[in-house]
Amino acid sequence: MYDGETVRAPYLDLAGWVSDMPPDLLDLKRAEADALFRRIGITFAVYGEGGDPERLIPFDIFPRVFTAHEWRRLERGVKQRAQALNAFLRDVYGRAEIVRAGRIPAERIFQNAAYEPAVVGIQPPRGIYSHIVGVDIVRTGPTDFFVLEDNCRTPSGVSYMLENREIMMRMFPDLFQRNRVEPVDDYPNQLRRTLMSVAPESCKGGPTVVLLTPGSLNSAYYEHSFLADQMGVELVEGQDLFVDGDHVYMRTTMGPKRVDVIYRRIDDDFLDPLCFRPDSMLGVPGLLNVYRAGNVAIASAPGAGVADDKAIYTYVPEMIRFYLGEEPVLANVPTWQCGNPDDLAYVLGNLSDLVVKEVHGSGGYGMLVGPAATREEVEAYARRIRANPSEFIAQPTLSLSTTPTYVESGLAPRHVDLRPYCLVGERIHLCAGGLTRVALREGSLVVNSSQGGGVKDTWVLAD
């Protein structure tokens, strides 16, 4: 928000709102927001972070704002990425033209653990693999956006986007009268339409959609039940579904009911013990056979994870050029693959200026933030990289933009990122908003909730 020393235009009104509000009222409002979250019982953990499933994430009452003009560019960029990622998945599970064309090395795909041989040659309904694409974006200047990573499997956090807005509207209705903010509450409805639009062709009449959860002990269970409820679909566990003949059914009080679309929030590995991990108790035996025979849609499609792998990320701009014939609207963060000897040498020589991540890590754990690390930490990390170079990637530290955030001492700039949610079905739709995560510690670049991160409401102003 800070443009040098001045506040950028979209925030002017909000800054006035805060400066006009007596500090004790602001404190009161903040406490009220916390109480509301507790009463609703919303608890949340970003995908893969683990930890206490009933933990509460700190909520910052100061919203993040995008102008309509800024958002249009982001929207173009995110949709472009979502289309390219789906085209890539269609291709690599088909003839893999991008490999034949020499644009991506074969081993990056075929030897990737997320590439599923079991679904090669299988066309999912409408050719869509990733139906919900969450793109993590940071901003480094007024017009500079970078994509940190793509989430093609089951990006979580959307319940926070919806609840944050609910709470803001309830606490500060006057703000929404003074600013024309694009609504986000249509998301569950759009998600349901997206899922219904990918029902298999053999499905007659209105498709039955279910949300498949690993169960109430999962860290994102709240989100699963929230979304199922908002969409008006059943929240099922593996034990509620079974395969008989050509179809998958759910057990209901009226007997078996055929299921046409499964929005799954469990990993490929656990979907079907007859195809993936034989010891999985969470999945549905035979489900992958029904899927491969074209009698049920699974969102995201099994195998979609190969598109959001950190080792594939580097090639997304190439995919956009190859499949869409366009230049990428949103840039990638320059990334060094330590598995590549030249890159490794550069990374080891410049560790104190770089951010290094594990290829398969998530949640901000196990990463090195060079500029903030001690010499000992840097050296210890260098040893880990040398032991297993291909497990690491490195990126430059970006001068991330900040937004005003309400902390102990009042309003202060804190670093943020953004995850908008793009739905891909019969139509492609980007929800005008998203999840803004904020690094609450001063100077920190890590926004993960497990590492002292919080969340904010995200506004897209109408024209």
Strands (E), 293-334: 297-299, 331-332
Count of CB atoms within 10 A of residue 235's CB? Answer: 20
Helix axes 221-231, 187-197, angle to 10 degrees: 80
Under the binding rule (CB under 8 A), the answer on residue 251 touching another protein is: yes
Q: Which is nearer to another protein, 178 or 257 (CB)?
A: 257
Using CB under 8 A, which of 44, 115, 160, 187 touches another protein? 115
Q: Which is nearer to another protein, 216 or 399 (CB)?
A: 216
Q: Spell out the residues 6+ positions from residue 239 whose beta carbon is closer than 8 angstroms to its own.
A: none
CA–CA separation, 63 and 165 (whole Å): 9
CA–CA separation, 183 and 72 (whole Å): 15
Under the binding rule (CB under 8 A), the answer on residue 296 touching another protein is: no
Under the binding rule (CB under 8 A), the answer on residue 304 touching another protein is: no
Contact region with another protein (CB under 8 A), list: 56-64, 239-247, 344-352, 380-388: 239-247
CA nearest to 364, candidates 126, 51, 12: 51
Using CB under 8 A, which of 246, 326, 379, 426 touches another protein? 246
CA–CA separation, 12 and 15 (whole Å): 5
Using CB under 8 A, which of 85, 147, 196, 243 touches another protein? 243
> Binding pattern to another protein, positions 199-238, x when CB under 8 A?
----------------xx--------x--xx----xxxx-
Under the binding rule (CB under 8 A), the answer on residue 257 touching another protein is: yes
Q: How many residues does the chain have?
A: 463
Using CB under 8 A, which of 13, 27, 52, 107 touches another protein? 107
Q: Spell out the residues 6+ positions from residue 443 whose beta carbon is closer than 8 angstroms to its own.
A: 372
294: alpha, beta or left, given left = phi > 0 and alpha = psi -120 to 50?
Answer: left
Q: Which is nearer to another protein, 58 or 285 (CB)?
A: 285
Task: With residue 53 as reference, give the H or E element that holds it.
Answer: none
Strands (E), 88-160: 132-141, 144-151
> Binding pattern to another protein, positions 269-288, x when CB under 8 A?
----xxx--x------xx--
CA–CA separation, 33 and 342 (whole Å): 50
Q: Which is nearer to another protein, 278 or 341 (CB)?
A: 278
Using CB under 8 A, which of 51, 189, 252, 388 touches another protein? 252
Under the binding rule (CB under 8 A), the answer on residue 99 touching another protein is: yes
Under the binding rule (CB under 8 A), the answer on residue 118 touching another protein is: yes
Under the binding rule (CB under 8 A), the answer on residue 146 touching another protein is: no
Under the binding rule (CB under 8 A), the answer on residue 106 touching another protein is: yes
Quote the DSSP letter at residue 56: -
Using CB under 8 A, which of 3, 144, 244, 353 touches another protein? 244
CA–CA separation, 63 and 79 (whole Å): 24
Q: How far is the CB of 215 from another protein (least distance, A)?
A: 7
CA–CA separation, 42 and 161 (whole Å): 12
Residue numbers of the site for another protein (CB under 8 A)?
A: 94-96, 99, 106-107, 110-111, 113, 115, 117-122, 215-216, 225, 228-229, 234-237, 239-240, 242-246, 249-257, 273-275, 278, 285-286, 289-290, 292-294
